[in-house]
Structure 1
Amino acid sequence: MSADGERVVAAARGWIGTPYVHQASARGAGADCLGLIRGVWREVLGAEPALVPAYTPDWDEPAGEERLWAAARAHLLPVVPCRAAAGDVLLFRMRAGAVAKHLGIQGRTGAAATVIHAYSGHGVVESPLAPWARRIVARFRFPGHAA
């Protein structure tokens, strides 16, 4: 893990236990998956790059708009999937044909790979990546953070 990846993972792990609250981004008080990414951005890089408009839990799924993916491409650096590293931001599609609407941060790589993410009913947790791996559609890195 690079020093940069270590900083991202350490920041993300600091959010573990934060309750799930839709559209929130306050460590210890509440966060959703985007709120976790936003909070880690603030801790590692400083001010967020853009204001986040209000959004619904379905992320425009009925309209088929990939709003979350477009925002990730605008503010994060794409990663070739085979170059997985701790600290990567993972974008997930929850079911085939649906828009990608879940984010997490790779905690560990290898056989015991993990993802740090926030989701309804669980809050911010670090989970084994294996059950989520087939849902990954893209990987990104925070600007200035190399593997």
Structure 2
Amino acid sequence: MTVSPSLIVKEARTWIGTPYVHQMAARGAGTDCLGLVRGVWRALFGSEPELPPAYSMDWSEPQGEEQLWGAASRHLLPKQLNTVAVGDVILFRMREGSIAKHLGIQAGIGAAPSFVHAYSGHGVVESPMSEPWARRVVARFQFPDVEAD
């Protein structure tokens, strides 16, 4: 089954307003950034390819392990960082020298780029891809079986 980038964004936007709850992935009830991507995956492809182990909010930062990046690399298709497209899963490094520990889904490109993400203290929101966010993007991925709109 193939999915379109616009369908990915449409599904991600159905999660807007879901409260932020660490380690959850239930639209309307609670989710974190990984849970949002997991929920979109389930809606588009059915069962998840891997259930994540319990994880702390620091994502193994003290150990320096890129667990989130590793999981994304196992199930999503890596892209060139400068190849921006609607429906991309984007990975953020929140501080220089730290591990990447935040995910979002590219919702808009061009003059008004935006992304949908679950953000602590805010829940699931669509945010502008402002310069402070854009400079934190360290990797881009594509869901499998994506066709052009």
Shift of 1:37: 0.2
Please show how residues 64-83 of structure 1 align to structure 2 within 5 Å. Answer: 64-83=64-83
Q: Answer yes or no: is 1:137 the counterpart of 2:138.
A: yes
Q: CA deviation at 1:74?
A: 0.3
Q: Which runs of 4+ in 1 moved over 3 A?
A: none
More helix by share: 1
Instruction: Report the Cα distance in structure 2 between the residues aligned to 1:111 and 1:16, rounded to whole angstroms.
Output: 22
**Which amino acid in structure 2 is aligned with residue 141 of structure 1?**
Q
Query: How much does 1:22 deviate?
Result: 0.1
Superposed displacement of residue 146, structure 1: 4.1
CA displacement 1:52-104 (0-9 Å, x = unmatched): 11000000000000000000000000111222111000000000000000000
Structure 2-normalised TM-score? 0.95
Q: Match for residue 42 of structure 1? A: 42
Q: 1: CA distance between counterparts of 2:146 and 2:124? A: 23
Whichever residue aligns with residue 91 of structure 1, its letter is: L
Secondary structure, aligned partner of 1:56: coil
Q: Residue 127 of structure 1 aligns to a residue in which SS?
A: strand
Whole-Å Cα distance in 2 between the matches of residues 112 and 41 of structure 1?
25
- The CA RMSD measured in Å over matched residues stands at 1.0
Aligned residue number for residue 29 of structure 1: 29
The code of the aligned residue for 1:43 comes to: A
Query: Partners of 2:32 and 2:51 in 1: how far apart?
Result: 16
Q: Which moved more, 1:75-84 or 1:97-106?
A: 75-84
Contact kept, 8 Å, 2:49 with 2:75, in 1: the verdict is yes
Q: What's the % identity of the aligned pairs? A: 64
SS at match of 1:140: strand
1:140 to partner: Cα distance: 0.2
Distance in 2 (CA, whole Å) between partners of 1:116 and 1:96 is 22
Q: How does 1:100-115 map to 2 (within 5 A)?
A: 100-115=100-115
Aligned residue number for residue 12 of structure 1: 12
Alignment of 1:50-129 (within 5 A): 50-129=50-129
> In 2, Cα distance between the equivalents of 1:51 and 1:22?
15
Bigger CA drift: 15-24 or 137-146?
A: 137-146
User: 1 CA distance for matches of 2:81 and 2:64?
Assistant: 24
Partner Cα separation in structure 2 for residue 117 and residue 28 of structure 1 = 14
Unaligned runs of 5+ in 2: none
Residue 28 of structure 1: how far off its partner (Å): 0.3
